[in-house]
Structures are given as structure tokens and as C-alpha cells.
Amino acid sequence: MATQHSRSAARTMMAPAVFLLLVWMLVPLILTLWFSVMDYRPLRGTFECCEGLGNYIRFASSSSFQDAIVTTLIMVGGILLITVTGGILLALLLDQPIWGQGIVRILVIAPFFVMPTVAALVWKNMFMNPVNGLLAHLWEFFGAEPISWLTQVPLFSIIIIVSWIWLPFATLILLTAIQSLDSEQMEAAEMDGASPIARFFYIVLPHLSRAITVVILIQTIFLLSIFAEIFVTTGGGFGTRTLTYLVYQRVIESQNVGLGSAGGIFAVILANIVAIFLMRMVGKNLDK
Amino acid sequence: MGRITLDKVQKSFGEVEVIPPLDLTIEDGEFVVFVGPSGCGKSTLLRLIAGLEDVSGGHIRIDGKDATLVPPAKRGLAMVFQSYALYPHMSVRKNIAFPLRMAKMDKAERDRRVQEAADILNLTDYIDRRPGQLSGGQRQRVAIGRAIVREPAAFLFDEPLSNLDAALRVGMRLEISELHKRLETTMVYVTHDQVEAMTMADKIVVLRAGIIEQVGSPLDLYHTPKNLFVAGFIGSPKMNLLDGDLAKPHDATTIGVRPEHITPSPTEGTWTGKIGVSEHLGSDTFFHVHMEGRRDPVTIRAAGEVDMHRGDTIYLTPNAERIHRFGADGLRMP
């Protein structure tokens, strides 16, 4: 029973943590909000008050803003599509009893432990290099003209790199979900005359729906802030400038903190819209 | 039609032989119960018949046709699982219709059959609910419904009542028996509960370590158990098995007397002992009687309420005609 006394004690004990979290979150947010209404260009030494909504209007009306939003959505959507379908297929494969199962599973997780910067560099130099990359050699082996990945299909290349990093995460969550499927259900479906494909669509996939929503939710939150992979590969060129990257360019490259902060607020709004949608989806799925 | 013949069926998991070659015939329309202690291979045997496990040797014939290598869905059998194995994301209606949908049956016929099954099993009121919203007994009925819509050659039940509480189990036992009378389809039922076996079966198959110990009607097994294992397994409470000096006068190594075939008396009888625990059921009273020089107590049944108490000396007289005699090899002596 929570008495009056224990409740106030709990409040006192929790206060430092809550305070810390609030400061942690609120200070940067308020600073960003403040900068976003200022004309703040440190290299020129301007720090002047009261741009009002000027920064917002300038940021939103530039054509790069709309391009960035579209790029962000394509990138996040593409990565989600690849990791979820790939994750389901890999999880189905890893669920089969095979020799050396433990080692195979550890190897599958490995890409997730590679730092994004390193992973992107490895892909850029070892695989996608148009002269010395493994993919170039593969293309040549089949007598085809090697693709210059990062200039010809830059967005797709980044999607592949980030998918490679996130595939293990999706695989792992979906694998545990598949393993929790009651084997008698599969046997019952088999007795009921369902083919392996029908069993997948009628039994396995509905069983996985909850895990898939969780994977999508968690990944989206992280994927909206992809940065390192773009930075070390295309540097935001060739139509790979996401919203996050655009904010970075405005603040660091153009040295316009005010404009960048306004962009940051747009990013916060976009993330929240996505989060609300996803929360609703997850909530509905978890209620079942 | 649903006549199932097992011909030298054998099953091993790796090195371990779970079921040594075994012959058994299940006649059309029969209610056959496989009973035995846990780990005796009864569920494995059922799964072999269903086709969920591959036989390691021998043949399974269904209605005379060799079905050994036929996949489960094509054998024309339906199975009810211990965990019911309902599809949690589908409504009761969709669960029951699932096998028909997989068989690509047209919708009108499908709906008609589902409705029919729901009527038989009293599921009409919750046909649009999901399995998660149903009680154990209702889920059980949905599982049975999913089996009957296919109009199979035979039903296979794998301990279907073990997840239900005692009262519900008695009710479902009756329902399944009635369903059998009504459909007149072959049913193969696996259980470890000998009461279920005795009350429902036309024919009981007692298994131990993959070997058939005895096949017969419930009363056959009750009156003439072939060996000590069947004698001890069938009947509740268990038969008293006595050896040594008590068996000698009957020319046997072991004699078996059921609790209901011993007459207790406070004054005179063949054997004497002291009353230990007594269980009063109202209609009957069971006494555990400790006899001098014996580790295990003898259980006896007295009809109604009896005025005898713990620690009292009691005299027991076995009904001479009801004494089962077993030889040194554990087999019944004539």
C-alpha cells in the first residue's frame, strides 16, 4: 500500500532523475528554439534578435528542403522494406536446425556491432569502389561494365549500406518471435492441408505482425537521424541530402545557426508526426 | 470409412527406439484409446498415424490403402491437439473454416458446413470471437469443430482434456462420447488418464515403453488383465498386488485383488491389519490398511459410511473368485 508518506518519499527520490531528464531534453530544445528566431551567424559575428519566423520561412521555401524531405522518406522507407523482408527471410532460415547454429547466429549479428562510419567506409572502399571494389570485379567477371555505385545510384547505395547495418537487428527480433510460435499450430495447419506458403501467410506472418511493428518503430526512430553513412560516402551530394544532413550543412557549412535551428525544429516536428502514427499502429497491435 | 492398420510400424529417434515393431488394427467406427504412463510412446504413435512423424519402418494403411508416405493433409484424418492449436488471429468462424479454405471449397458450401459444426458444438453464440476471448472448454469445442468440418475418415485426439479443470473434463468427456455416437466415425484418443480410457473407449490399447501390453474392451482389461502392468494400471483406486506368503496359498508369485473385492469386517476375516489413512467420499469409503510385515498398505473399499477409524484393527476377506494370479514372469495365470 502506498501511504501518503511513502508516496511523497517516492516523489522526492525520483525528483533528481526527472529533473536531469528535463534539463537534458529541455535545454537543447529551448536553445534551438531561441536560435531559430535569431539571426545567428558566428563567423560574421552577427547575433541579432528577432528574425521572427524569417528563418523558418527561408528554410522551408528553399527547394532543398522539399528534396530533403522526399530523400529522407525514400531512404527510411527503402531501408525498412529491405530490413523487414530480409529479416523475415533470414529469421526463417536461421530457425531451421543447422550444424553450427550458435556460431552462425553470432556471425549474423556482427554487422550491428560495426560503427556506422567504419561500415560505410568498408562498403565505399571495399565493395563499391568502381575500380578496385569487389562488386566491380564481380561485374567484370560477368563481362559487364562496373557500376560507379556512389555516383550513379547514390541513394540506393546508402540504402544498401544502412540496411546491412540494421538487418541483424530486424533478424534477431523476428527470429525470437518465430521461435515463440507454437509448433502445434504449424502442425495443425499442416493437417488442415495448408501448403508451406499458405502456412507462412496464414500462420507465421500474422504471428510476426507484432514483432514487425516493433522493428519498424525502433528502426524509424534511429533511421531518421542517419548521418555518418552519408557523411563518409557522398557527403550529401547526388541527391542524398536528408533533412538531418541539410540541418548539418546549414549550421556547419553555411555557418548559419539560426537557419539550421529552424530546420532542426522541422525535423523534430517530422519525427513527432512519424512517432504518433507509429505509436497508434503499435498500440493497436499490442492490444490484441 | 476409417479402418486404420498398423503393420510392423517402428519408430526410432536417432539411436533410441521409441516404438519397437508394432501391429494394431483399428476398425471403422471404433473409439480406440491409447493409454499408458507418460513417455510410453502413445503420443508418438498417434503422430505416426497422423503423419506428423515419419515411420522408421513398417506400413500404415488407411482403408486398405498404404498411407505410409502420404503427407498428413492427404490422409483424410483430423487431429485435435493438447494445446488446441487454434489460430489466435482468426475468429472462431475463420478457424473452423480454415481447412475448407485450404481445400479451396466454395464459400456457400464452406459457410454451410461451418454453421453446421457450430450448431452441433453450441458455438453459434461466439462464432465471431477470437480464441483469446474464449474459455478452455469453448476453445476445445472450436478445435473439435475445426476437425469435424473436414468430415475426416478418422479423428485423432492428443490428450485433449488435460488442460481443463476436473468438472469441465467430465462434461467434455460426455460430449466427445456423444459426438462419436452421432458421427459414427473412427476416433483414436490418447490419454494418460485411465478413467477417460475406461469411460469412453470401445477398445483400449495399453502401452508401455512403446510396446502394446494389452488390447481389449474396458471390461476385458478390468476383469482379465494380461499381466501385472495392466493389472496395476487399469482401475481406480489401483489393484492391490500382494506377493510372498499371501500369494503362496494360491500357487502364484503375485496375487492381485481390487479394493472393491475385499470385504472388511471388524471381527473376523482372512487377513488382519490396522487402518491407516481413510478417504471418505460419501458413497464409498477407502481405507488404507497396514498389514504386519508389508511396506505398502492394502487399499479396500467399503460401501457407504463405515464406523471404523484410524488405528482400529480390521479383518479383510478377499472374494476368492476375484483374485487375479500372476506367475514369476508377471503374466496372468489361468
Q: Do A191 and B77 touch (CB under 8 A)?
A: yes
CB contact at 8 A, A91 and A200: no
Residue in chain B nearest A206 by alpha carbon: B89
Chain B residues closer than 8 Å to A207 by CB: 88-89
Domain count, chain B: 2
pLDDT at A83: 93
CB contact at 8 A, B157 and B188: yes
Are B186 and B249 contained in the same domain? no
**Is residue B237 reached through a cis peptide bond, with omega within 30 degrees of 0 on the bond before it?**
yes
Give backbone dihedrals phi and psi of B287, rounded to 5 degrees, phi first: -110, 140
Enclosing domain of residue B105: 4-231
Residue in chain A nearest B80 by alpha carbon: A188
In chain A, the DSSP E strands lie at: 39-41, 46-48
Q: Does B286 touch chain A (CB under 8 A)?
A: no
**CATH number, residue B143:** 3.40.50.300
Chain A residues closer than 8 Å to B82 by CB: 184
pLDDT at A174: 92
* CA gap B171, B169 in Å, rounded: 5
Q: Do B72 and A189 touch (CB under 8 A)?
A: no
Q: Does A201 touch chain B (CB under 8 A)?
A: no
pLDDT at A3: 75
Residue B332 lies in a domain: no
Q: Do A193 and B102 touch (CB under 8 A)?
A: yes
pLDDT at A78: 93
User: If you count residue pairs, one on A and one on B, with CB atoms under 8 Å apart, how many are there?
Assistant: 59
* CA gap B24, B100 in Å, rounded: 31
Are B260 and B317 contained in the same domain? yes
pLDDT tens-place string over residues B166-218: 888 888 888 889 888 888 889 999 998 888 888 888 999 998 888 888 899 99
Chain B residues closer than 8 Å to A195 by CB: 102
* CA gap B210, B36 in Å, rounded: 9
| Average confidence score pLDDT of chain A | 84
pLDDT at A286: 59
Residue in chain A nearest B83 by alpha carbon: A184
Cell numbers that stand for A148 in this block? 560507379
Final residue in a domain of this structure, among B203, B231, B259? B231
Residue in chain A nearest B49 by alpha carbon: A191
For the entire predicted model, the pTM comes to 0.78
pLDDT at A2: 65
Are B71 and B94 contained in the same domain? yes
Q: Do A188 and B77 touch (CB under 8 A)?
A: no
pLDDT at A287 over 60: no
Band (A1; pLDDT cuts 50, 70, 90): low
Chain A residues closer than 8 Å to B98 by CB: 189, 192, 194, 202
Listed residue (B66, B72, B69, B42) closest to B55, CA to CA: B69
Residue in chain A nearest B133 by alpha carbon: A288
What is A72-239's CATH topology?
A: MetI-like fold (1.10.3720)
Are B245 and B214 contained in the same domain? no
Cell numbers that stand for A154 in this block? 547514390
Q: Does B85 touch chain A (CB under 8 A)?
A: yes
**Helix A205-223 and helix A257-287, axial crossing angle in degrees, nearest 10:** 170
* CA gap A213, A219 in Å, rounded: 10
Task: Compute mean pLDDT per 10 residues along chain B, 334 residues long, and list them.
Answer: 83 85 88 88 88 87 85 87 87 89 86 87 86 85 88 88 84 88 89 87 89 89 89 86 80 86 84 86 86 84 78 85 85 81
The percent of residues in chain A predicted with pLDDT above 90, rounded, is 10
Which of B102, B140, B159 would best serve as a mutation to test chain A binding (most A beta carbons within 10 A)? B102
Band (A157; pLDDT cuts 50, 70, 90): confident
Are B39 and B178 contained in the same domain? yes
pLDDT tens-place string over residues B14-42: 888 888 888 888 888 899 999 888 888 88
Distance from CA of A279 to the nearest CA of B (A): 21
Are B62 and B140 contained in the same domain? yes
Residue in chain A nearest B94 by alpha carbon: A202
* CA gap A86, B328 in Å, rounded: 66
Final residue in a domain of this structure, among B231, B263, B281? B231
| Residue A144 per-residue DSSP state | P
pLDDT tens-place string over residues A71-119: 888 989 999 999 999 999 988 888 888 888 788 888 888 888 888 889 8
Band (A285; pLDDT cuts 50, 70, 90): low
Q: Do A192 and B83 touch (CB under 8 A)?
A: no
Q: What is the mean pLDDT of residues A218-238?
A: 84
pLDDT at B1: 67
| Residue B331 per-residue DSSP state | B
Can you say how many angstroms the Cα of residue B86 is from the centroid of all Cα atoms in its chain?
23
Are B58 and B83 contained in the same domain? yes
pLDDT tens-place string over residues A196-217: 888 889 988 888 888 888 888 8
Residue B119 lies in a domain: yes
Name the strands in the sheet holding B298-303, side by side, starting at the edge strand that comes first in the sequence. B262-265, B313-318, B271-280, B284-290, B298-303
CB contact at 8 A, B71 and A186: no
Chain B residues closer than 8 Å to A187 by CB: 52, 72, 79, 81, 85
Are B137 and B8 contained in the same domain? yes
Residue B308 lies in a domain: yes
- The C-alpha angle A131, A133, A138, rounded to 5 degrees, equals 95
pLDDT at B190: 92
* CA gap B175, A124 in Å, rounded: 69
**CATH number, residue B250:** 2.40.50.140
Q: Which of A132-146, A242-256, B161-175, B203-217 has the highest mean pLDDT?
A: B203-217
Which of B89, B90, B105, B130 would best serve as a mutation to test chain A binding (most A beta carbons within 10 A)? B89
Distance from CA of B265 to the nearest CA of A (A): 53
Q: Does B83 touch chain A (CB under 8 A)?
A: yes
Q: Does B98 touch chain A (CB under 8 A)?
A: yes
* CA gap B46, B50 in Å, rounded: 6
* CA gap A241, B49 in Å, rounded: 62
pLDDT tens-place string over residues A35-68: 887 777 777 777 777 777 777 787 778 878 888 8
Distance from CA of B173 to the nearest CA of A (A): 22
Cell numbers that stand for B242 in this block? 500382494
Query: Alpha helix locations (H) across A180-242?
Result: 183-191, 196-199, 205-223, 228-233
Chain B residues closer than 8 Å to A284 by CB: none
Final residue in a domain of this structure, among B201, B231, B261? B231
Sequence-distant (6+) residues with CB within 8 A of A63 are none
**Helix B107-120 and helix B136-148, axial crossing angle in degrees, nearest 10:** 130
Are B196 and B301 contained in the same domain? no
Which residue from A185, A187, A193 is facing B87, i.e. has the nearest CB?
A: A185
ipTM value greater than 0.95: no
Are B19 and B55 contained in the same domain? yes
Distance from CA of A191 to the nearest CA of B (A): 5
